[in-house]
Structure 1
């Protein structure tokens, strides 16, 4: 790759100057050095042919699709699922208006949809689609071209044609085309039966004429979320879901904390002052700084120790883009459980029925000393969340979904997780090795997979806690994570379920990038240009010295990789009204019922309504409120607002 060769010979000072450029200039320079021919064609297309709206008045702009400049429709709510819906509806609506007989065929994987048409109606179908305008067609593996009004000879003979409309985001960074195409199959007529031109998961023969039946969106595409609205016309044999399709709900669990909250920082510093034990290892950012000769005092924070070694995410932007990645690339997730330390980001819509905020006090009320700053202690009680599905994904704080994935990426169709058996060599691995030696009499080096979502079964996690109660009690007894603490989800669950025979080894295309590394800008631009990773992780252990450049690079990269707001975000007006408050103060108003020192009002009562994450039947004693009367909260009302998307 030309870009890699060019950057390989640059000095550290030149890398630094490159990182100081605006992000869009970095992107243009990267693309120019990586593929100069493509960059030149795109530049000429923009200059010689202005982007005019479609016949329906939809705005368009030039974008790059499969290495070629194309005119794409601008969609401010762009997502893979919306692109799939758009192409399927454009095709079925055009065929319905033309009176062409057709039926939807369930697609087991991917974003593509499939529509069957009798071969005798090929010409009428192609003419109906050619009259839509803005559609592109591809035959087999050939390049896509604009769909003509009058079908050409190649389109009149091929058994399968891929039809799609290119769509792009407002800034042109995200474009969908052939990967979300609607594939039209021309079924041959044999008397009163139709024969498929290729195999599918259900049947190769259907009646030529039958009573119309309908499929829901989830029955037609495994990538779509579950719903009960029958939208698509099909044949009766396709109404039964095949055994190779996953038929179980999957939830998402992620932990979040805002390390910029002064209240959270002061509590953690007090907890660290009371905790005796070895100092956590220095941050990776400090190691990069020492390698580059910048010097410094390592990872010491305000207390002289690496007290920021585990702070989750830097502020709230990473959480915002994590939820955007789930909304874009895994819409089949049933519910999201966000575990927080009595904090809520100002942009989060806590009223969304698919989102549940779980506080540490409700999750660990009778298990550990609160407040806790040990992520492994929190992970040890995840299986006790009310309403959590048997199968769920655990998404660490610095991990994002990089491209569309479905349930079979993480689970077999029968529900068996696909685990990653990565080795490790830290002190926590030594403690985990002893656990496996005692329980299974096997030598295991369980590492912590980086940059990857982890498939978990709730029953397996409960079995681990029951089998090693002493280890779990020791982990929960540490307010601050200790070097010999073991992660039940990231270290034990993967190998435990594999040795029990309830999981199989899996694989995932993943990347892990440290924004403080010298080649971070090059790797991030390559990831943005290719979008070929199922998941990727960004190192969040940054010091103030490493710094503003790495932080800006990370935030700008995420905003371009995930430009579409998720339904879990409030509107800009509500977010601006919440901006003066810290995450702890917002949690007081949005998650708790009004008490004496809070003003009563209709908006405040509306904000305090959702409490579905509370444990009502555990019997654990109530914990004291960490926000005592000596630490008052200003009595200012905050509007709840409306969701975006």
Structure 2
């Protein structure tokens, strides 16, 4: 344990939060001071822009009213290519992520002059080896460097920075290797005029004159025109499960079902009010899709005949799916058990073959690609947690998530003679319909029990969130993945510290804001804390929301 950890161990949560905020300049007076210095040094700020970034070397951010990371990066590439074309500067595209634009050293000065045509205020440059980003106009005062990333700094009206380097394109200046034939140990003879990459890019270290001309002859000037082998090309949908725990009709149904339970039949956590109450998470989770995962084809919201009051059901990319549309045995309804509902999701009408299952407390925290969740050959990924399963058999004394995990383990042991010891992270869960259909054919008793399990029960399995992954792995259809992830349980005393870290850093692919069983005395404060954080992280209304709602 380091000195910082030892000191923190003797501080209250409030004191630790205050210390963190001071260290990162988050207090009101610090922000006001930074803003004042930044504004003084930024000079004239054009209409529709704001001064952002370091106080002593401010950048300009272009104010936007909508944000889609993947659309912005396409627009950034189109803008860079347009000014090069207009100036008749030859270039080719390497087709990497981020997109790589190559110009020859002999045209570098003309390219620099052409880039001056990118005149909207947010254009910014990041250069390897330099600690700070620079405005494009400042960058263009000197010759182009071998490598630079061009992007637009985009901000919401409240100053939240939304777009940056992740939405940029890399522009590189490649030099000629020689005017004579040379020999490369890996590539063999290199023709005169061959271009050499200034750094590794994952596609090409050299471009021969023939390759250059061939790329220039394509419509988009691409060196590689075929899709990469690992690229996910098929449609990916998202399925949410959602409940409005404040709905009086639903509350009456739940109360009647709960009264029919035998005493001690289920763990008290299965009946905890926090399982059915929310903080408007679905709205913000769907905003995160539009901001950071807009490649999602369609969103299916599975509910018990409920519709979020703010949801624009006329949006062609959204469907509200009733439980009675997916349960094979509708006489089992109503159910109040997420294990039961998730076991039926592969029956959603019109669902893509591969999809992501999300609880509404899961959010995309920065731009993510479909390859984070699936391989190009169609197999899915799963994300293991460091948390371990208990070794005792499942019982009513276990939290429902633990007893279900133990049931999953027992089934895998029965199927394979091998075992699992770790939990799975609470992330978007990559799903394959064929895997779930095969699992149901092989073990119909699991699905039959779950369909009639009205509350989380010690005999439950968790099919979509866990068992799918193990079964897919056993049958050669899944591999372990890696994801940058954070998890918060609102019931934890230091939840505010985790929330502050997530909001400040914006460094996670995915984060989960879970609520196990928050004491009623602090629930209202915690709920407001969550709502305020999400509204600041995802400040722009999405196309899935009705205006004014």
Q: 1:338, CA displacement in angstroms? A: 1.1
Report the counterpart of residue 169 of structure 1 in structure 2: 156
Q: Provide Cα deviations, 1:444-499, integer angstroms capped at 9, x if missing partner.
A: 3463523x111111111111111111222112122222122111112211222222
Residue 224 of structure 2 aligns to a residue in which SS?
helix
Q: 1:159, CA displacement in angstroms? A: 2.4
Q: 1:173, CA displacement in angstroms? A: 2.3
Which of 329, 336, 339 aligns to 2:302? It is: 339
Q: Residues 338 and 357 of structure 1 are in contact (CA less than 8 Å); yes or no, is this contact kept in structure 2?
A: yes
Residue 53 of structure 2 aligns to a residue in which SS?
strand
Which of 84, 88, 97 aligns to 1:95? It is: 84
Which of 437, 440, 443 aligns to 1:465? It is: 440
Distance in 2 (alpha carbons) for counterparts of 1:279 and 1:567: 44
Q: Provide Cα deviations, 1:64-113, integer angstroms capped at 9, x if missing partner.
A: 36996422111121342244234323322322332222333312x3xx33
Q: 1:172, CA displacement in angstroms? A: 1.7
Q: 1:555, CA displacement in angstroms? A: 0.3
Q: Provide Cα deviations, 1:244-272, integer angstroms capped at 9, x if missing partner.
A: 32222221111001101111111111111
Report the counterpart of residue 314 of structure 1 in structure 2: 278
TM-score, length-normalised on structure 1? 0.72
Q: 1:10, CA displacement in angstroms? A: 4.2
Structure 1 residue 412 and structure 2 residue 362: aligned? no
In structure 2, relative to structure 1, the CA distance for the partners of 1:67 and 1:4 (3 Å cut) is farther
Which of 202, 205, 213 aligns to 1:208? It is: 213
Residue 137 of structure 1 aligns to a residue in which SS?
strand
Which of 379, 382, 385 aligns to 2:348? It is: 385
Q: Residues 420 and 449 of structure 1 are in contact (CA less than 8 Å); yes or no, is this contact kept in structure 2?
A: yes
Report the counterpart of residue 183 of structure 1 in structure 2: 170
Structure 1 residue 139 and structure 2 residue 115: aligned? no
What number of residue pairs does the alignment pair up? Answer: 511
Distance in 1 (alpha carbons) for counterparts of 2:56 and 2:377: 38
Further displaced range: 178-187 or 327-336: 178-187
Q: 1:331, CA displacement in angstroms? A: 1.2
| Unaligned runs of at least 5 residues, structure 2 | 180-190, 391-401
Q: 1:152, CA displacement in angstroms? A: 5.1
Q: Provide Cα deviations, 1:366-388, integer angstroms capped at 9, x if missing partner.
A: 35511111211111111122222
| RMSD after superposition | 3.2
Structure 1 residue 127 and structure 2 residue 113: aligned? yes
Q: Residues 329 and 401 of structure 1 are in contact (CA less than 8 Å); yes or no, is this contact kept in structure 2?
A: yes
Distance in 2 (alpha carbons) for counterparts of 1:2 and 1:401: 33
Within 5 Å, give how 1:479-518 maps onto structure 2: 479-518=454-493
Report the counterpart of residue 301 of structure 1 in structure 2: none
Report the counterpart of residue 424 of structure 1 in structure 2: 389
Distance in 2 (alpha carbons) for counterparts of 1:406 and 1:399: 16
Distance in 1 (alpha carbons) for counterparts of 2:490 and 2:459: 28
Q: Residues 416 and 502 of structure 1 are in contact (CA less than 8 Å); yes or no, is this contact kept in structure 2?
A: yes
Distance in 1 (alpha carbons) for counterparts of 2:463 and 2:422: 11
| Unaligned runs of at least 5 residues, structure 1 | 19-25, 215-232, 284-304, 576-645
Distance in 2 (alpha carbons) for counterparts of 1:210 and 1:240: 12
Q: Residues 238 and 356 of structure 2 are in contact (CA less than 8 Å); yes or no, is this contact kept in structure 1?
A: yes
Report the counterpart of residue 360 of structure 1 in structure 2: 323
Q: Residues 427 and 483 of structure 1 are in contact (CA less than 8 Å); yes or no, is this contact kept in structure 2?
A: yes
In structure 2, relative to structure 1, the CA distance for the partners of 1:358 and 1:100 (3 Å cut) is same
Structure 1 residue 32 and structure 2 residue 22: aligned? yes
Distance in 2 (alpha carbons) for counterparts of 1:280 and 1:199: 57
In structure 2, relative to structure 1, the CA distance for the partners of 1:145 and 1:376 (3 Å cut) is same
Residue 359 of structure 2 aligns to a residue in which SS?
coil
Q: Residues 401 and 536 of structure 1 are in contact (CA less than 8 Å); yes or no, is this contact kept in structure 2?
A: yes
Residue 76 of structure 1 aligns to a residue in which SS?
coil
Deviation beyond 6 Å, 4+ runs, structure 1: 1-7, 65-68, 190-193
TM-score, length-normalised on structure 2? 0.84
Residue 207 of structure 1 aligns to a residue in which SS?
helix
Q: 1:280, CA displacement in angstroms? A: 4.5
Within 5 Å, give how 1:600-639 maps onto structure 2: none
In structure 2, relative to structure 1, the CA distance for the partners of 1:381 and 1:36 (3 Å cut) is closer
Distance in 1 (alpha carbons) for counterparts of 2:411 and 2:53: 52
In structure 2, relative to structure 1, the CA distance for the partners of 1:309 and 1:518 (3 Å cut) is closer
In structure 2, relative to structure 1, the CA distance for the partners of 1:328 and 1:159 (3 Å cut) is same
